Structure 1
C-alpha cells in the first residue's frame, strides 16, 4: 500500500469563458500522505474552497488528475464519485451542520446507517468516537445543548464515522476561541493518527496551521510550500 493518499497533478479550474474567464487553479500539484495533516493558508478568493471541493469530488476540475487512495477520479461517472465520497472522504466545516432534532450519538450514527451499518454497530462506533473526542458524557444531548467546541467535536466524530481515508476541514475552528480551537484541533489530530487518515485543513489561524505537519498556500493558482 502506498503512503500517498491524495495526489493532485496539474489541476486547473476555470470559471467562465473568453475574456471574462477566471482561472482559479492553474496547474496545482499536491500530495497528502496517510497520517499527515496539511494546513492550507491563503487569502480569501485565492481558491482554498475550490481546492477542497475538487479534493472532495464535489467539483470536477477543468483539467488535471485527482487520485484518491490510488483511484483515478477524473473520468469516473457521478455515481462512482458519490460512492467514493461516501466511503473515502469525511468533511468538517466552519459551521457544524448537525441535525438539531437528533442527539450527538444519533448525529454520528446517521452516516453509518446510510452506508449500510447496523444500528447496534453504528451506535457502538459512535460512542467510541465521542469518547475519543472527550465528550462521551454528552451522547444524549442535542446540538443546542452543547457548547461550540462540543458541537465541532461531534462534527469531527461524524466526519470520521465511516472511517474515511481523507478528511477535509474548512475553517473548522473559525467560530471558536483560541483555547477551544486548540482542544478541537488536538482531537482532530489524534483521530487522524489513530485512523492513519490524511487531512487538509484550510484555516486563517496561523497558530493552528503551525501544528500541522506541513503548510502550503495558493499563489497564482499553484500550490506552494509556506512558512509562518
Structure 2
C-alpha cells in the first residue's frame, strides 16, 4: 500500500495487575494509507484507547513495530518520540480540551508556536483552518462562548494545525447530538482527506463508523475487519 501514514506490526501491549498479566493488544497488525479513514468499533474495555495511545506514541508496546509517516517510532528515545508525535500526529478527544482562557484562534495557534512557527504565520493558519470548519466569524470567541459542535470543530482544527500525517480520534462525536455528530464527522473526514492525512477514529456510533473507508474491531486483542 503506497504512502502509509501508520503501520503496526506484531504489536503487543499488556498490563500487570498484582500478579496477573492482562493482555490488551495481541499481535496487532494495521496499515492506514494517506487519505484513508478507518473506524475502530469495539466494546468498552476491549482496548480501543490503548490502541490509540500506542498509535499516538503515548504508550510503548512491549513488543512489535510502530511506524508513523515512514519513521520507525518503536526504536526512538522519549525525546525523539515526542518530536515525532508533535510533528506528525493530531489527537482529538471526546471532550474538546480547549484552553478556556484563550480564543479559538489562539487555541489553534498554540501547537504551532510550540513547534516553532512564526506568530503571524500561525495566526494565518488558524484563520484558514477555522474558515475550513465554517467558523470564520468565531475566531475571537473563547470556548465557553461556542456550542458543543463548534468547540469540537475548533478541536479538529487544532489537531490539524501542524499538518500531521496521522489523525487519531477517540469518540470525537460522543458528546454531540446525532445531527451535529454527522456534521462534525463530515468536516473531520474532509479535513483528513484534503490534507492527505490518515485517520483512525474510535467510535461507538455505527452510523458514523459506516461513513469511514473501512471498519475494524478488536477481537481477543487483535485488530480484525468487521462489517456493521
Measured against the shorter chain, the TM-score band is over 0.9
Report what 1:35 is aligned to.
Answer: 35
Q: Deviations over 1:68-126 (max 9, x none)?
A: 11111112100000000000000000000000000000000111011101111000000
Matches within 5 A, 1:1-228: 2-16=2-16, 20-228=20-228
Structure 2 CA distance, aligned partners of 1:87 and 1:227?
Answer: 33
Summarize the Cα distance change of 1:102–1:12 in structure 2 as closer, same or farther, 3 Å threshold. same
Structure 2 CA distance, aligned partners of 1:71 and 1:113?
Answer: 23
Q: Deviations over 1:151-210 (max 9, x none)?
A: 000000000000000000000000000000011001101111110000000000000000
Deviation at 1:2, TM superposition (A): 3.7
**Unaligned runs of at least 5 residues, structure 1:** none
Deviation at 1:4, TM superposition (A): 1.3
TM-score w.r.t. length of structure 1:
0.98
Summarize the Cα distance change of 1:154–1:17 in structure 2 as closer, same or farther, 3 Å threshold. closer
Moved over 3 A (4+): none
Structure 2 CA distance, aligned partners of 1:53 and 1:190?
Answer: 23
Structure 1 CA distance, aligned partners of 2:4 and 2:99?
Answer: 34
Structure 2 CA distance, aligned partners of 1:166 and 1:4?
Answer: 10
Structure 1 CA distance, aligned partners of 2:117 and 2:70?
Answer: 25
TM-score w.r.t. length of structure 2:
0.98
Q: Deviations over 1:27-81 (max 9, x none)?
A: 0110001000000000011000000000000000010111111111112100000
